Amino acid sequence: MFKKECIAMILAGGQGSRLGVLTKRVAKPAVPFGGKYRIIDFPLSNCANSGIDTVGVLTQYQPLALNAYIGIGSPWDLDRKQGGVAVLPPFVRANGGEWYKGTANAVYQNMDFIESYNPDYVIILSGDHIYKMDYAAMLDYHKERQATATIGVIEVSWEETSRFGIMEVDQENLITKFVEKPENAESNLASMGIYIFNWGVLKQYLEADEANPDSSNDFGKNIIPTLLADQAALYAYPFQGYWKDVGTLESLWEANMDLLDENTSLDLHDRKWRIYSVNPTQPPHFLADSSQVVDSLINEGCVVYGQVDHSVLFPGVRIGRGSRIIDSVLMPDTVVGDNVTIAKSIIGSDASIEDNCQIGDIGGGRHAKLTIVGETTHLAKGSLIRPNIE
């Protein structure tokens, strides 16, 4: 029988309702990021760079843009004769079908896919985190310790611990306690939502979890605590480097701004660990005589006549004369007229903003409230948009 040592399952089914208008028509993993990428490029590129060539992407919310984006996976070298990438939506079986009830249930419903590769290990990833990580090194760590499961962990600030699954570990990094979103945490080691399981064990636990009507069928809430209660060998794999959950608009904005920091630990220019993505066909961007661009990321196909300060421009963005873009993210093909000012905002794809508009808290600096303009929005001349995100 055909066999793969380790395959990856990327959880990409989240609605991403906290990303508001940006996820009205696309699932969270397909949201544009960093002037060029979509969020899911990071786990997919990590897989490609880690030598994992079989990846299932579990989707169920607004899958069109995500399916079209992933295609047959060639940008990530995942168009393979054996394995490659497969988009896995929920489906109907002879005895009925249902939506994915939780992260564990999503994997449970696709056991046939996993079994067809007869893997020793399955790595579970999330489709909404920005980071670069070598999963092969994590797998080696898992094998060395003969772990049942290994969980990627990162130290977060103590104020943030209530947003994460928090782990306590002994000197050997063996996990002794796991609490989901604790109010008073006793550790600041947060789960990154990256799990390596021995497939044989995971399969048993998924089946038992499915049989339990009280379970919410979630890795963090059910599978991990049950394994821990059964005294399975659960190890924490400490990760150092840039990692960010971009589940909220504010964190999405922050992650974009992080890229502009000259000392950022997320190096997009690293040729040894490229982040691959679907490349649009666009010429190099043009900065006119009147342009002024500092501390920014700008992609191909843009034309800039105005000022861009500490901002991220996706492909095909046009900035007119006398306009100022400050601390903002402009998604693909947005057209900005003359004498427009945009401060601390995220502007969705294909928006058109006519002359003399004022968007965001101008002069409010980087700690001002964020302003969002949804995709394909048309703003008539002189429109005034105030911050709209609490």
Partner 1 sequence: MKDVMGIINLVEPTELLKDLTKHRTLGAVPIGGRYRLIDFALSNLVNAGIRNVGIFVQDQYRALMDHVGTGMEWDLARQRDGLFILPPDSRGENGNHQGDIDILYRHYDYLERSREKTVIMAGTSIICNMDYKRVVAHHQEIDADVTIVYKPDTQSTVRCTVLDVDDKSRVTSIRVNPLHAKTHNISMKMYILKKELLMELLDQCISRGETDFVKDALIKNIDRLKIVGYPFDGYIMNITSLSSYYHASMELLDPSVWQELFFHAGPIHTKVKNESPVHYGHHAKVTNSLIANGCIIEGTVENSILFRGVHVQKGVHVKNSILMQKSDIGKNATLEYVILDKDVIITKGKNLQGDPDYPMVVGKKTVL
Residue from 258, 300, 354, 361 binding partner 1 (CB under 8 A): 300
> Which parts of 87-116 interact with partner 1 (CB under 8 A)?
none
Residue from 105, 126, 251, 296 binding partner 1 (CB under 8 A): 296
By CB under 8 A, is residue 285 in contact with partner 1? yes
By CB under 8 A, is residue 67 in contact with partner 1? no
Residue 3: count of CB within 10 angstroms of its CB: 9
Cα–Cα distance for residue pair 388/40, rounded to 1 Å: 27
Least gap, CB of 32 to partner 1 (angstroms): 12
By CB under 8 A, is residue 118 in contact with partner 1? no
Residue from 87, 138, 206, 293 binding partner 1 (CB under 8 A): 293
Cα–Cα distance for residue pair 48/137, rounded to 1 Å: 14
Cα–Cα distance for residue pair 36/332, rounded to 1 Å: 9
Q: Angle, to 10 degrees, between the axis of helix 135-144 and the axis of helix 41-50? A: 60
To which H or E segment does residue 358 belong? strand 358-359
Least gap, CB of 324 to partner 1 (angstroms): 15
- 386-to-314, 319, 351, 358 alpha-carbon distances in Å: 23, 20, 17, 8
Sign of CA dihedral 67, 129, 185, 183: negative
Question: Which CB, 12 or 312, lies closer to partner 1?
Answer: 312
Contact call for residues 275 and 42 (beta carbons, < 8 A): yes
By CB under 8 A, is residue 258 in contact with partner 1? no
Residue from 94, 289, 367, 390 binding partner 1 (CB under 8 A): 289
Residue 235: count of CB within 10 angstroms of its CB: 22
By CB under 8 A, is residue 34 in contact with partner 1? yes
Beta bridge partners of 85: 55
Per-position x/- string for 265-284, each x denoting binding to partner 1 as judged by CB under 8 A, each - no binding = ---xx----xxxx-x-xxxx
By CB under 8 A, is residue 312 in contact with partner 1? yes
By CB under 8 A, is residue 286 in contact with partner 1? yes
Contact call for residues 319 and 306 (beta carbons, < 8 A): yes
Find all residues with CB under 8 Å of 381, minimum gap 6, and list them: 337, 354, 355, 356, 357
By CB under 8 A, is residue 49 in contact with partner 1? no
By CB under 8 A, is residue 32 in contact with partner 1? no
Contact call for residues 295 and 309 (beta carbons, < 8 A): yes
Q: Which range touches partner 1 (CB under 8 A), out of 183-191, 246-254, 294-302, 344-352?
A: 294-302
Least gap, CB of 133 to partner 1 (angstroms): 18
By CB under 8 A, is residue 352 in contact with partner 1? no
By CB under 8 A, is residue 12 in contact with partner 1? no
Question: Which CB, 283 or 363, lies closer to partner 1?
Answer: 283
Residues in the chain: 390
Question: Which CB, 209 or 327, lies closer to partner 1?
Answer: 327
Least gap, CB of 328 to partner 1 (angstroms): 14
By CB under 8 A, is residue 290 in contact with partner 1? yes
By CB under 8 A, is residue 288 in contact with partner 1? yes
Question: Which CB, 215 or 299, lies closer to partner 1?
Answer: 299
At CA 212, angle to CA 208 and CA 214, rounded to 5?
Answer: 145
Q: Which range touches partner 1 (CB under 8 A), out of 92-100, 116-124, 197-205, 300-308?
A: 300-308
With contacts defined by CB under 8 A, how many residues of the chain interact with partner 1? 38
Find all residues with CB under 8 Å of 330, minimum gap 6, and list them: 311, 312, 313, 314, 317, 336, 342, 347
Residue 162: count of CB within 10 angstroms of its CB: 12
Residue from 299, 328, 345, 377 binding partner 1 (CB under 8 A): 299
Residue from 72, 294, 380, 384 binding partner 1 (CB under 8 A): 294
Question: Which CB, 200 or 284, lies closer to partner 1?
Answer: 284
Cα–Cα distance for residue pair 193/127, rounded to 1 Å: 10
Binding site for partner 1 (CB under 8 A): 34-36, 74-75, 260, 262, 268-269, 274-277, 279, 281-300, 303, 308, 312-313
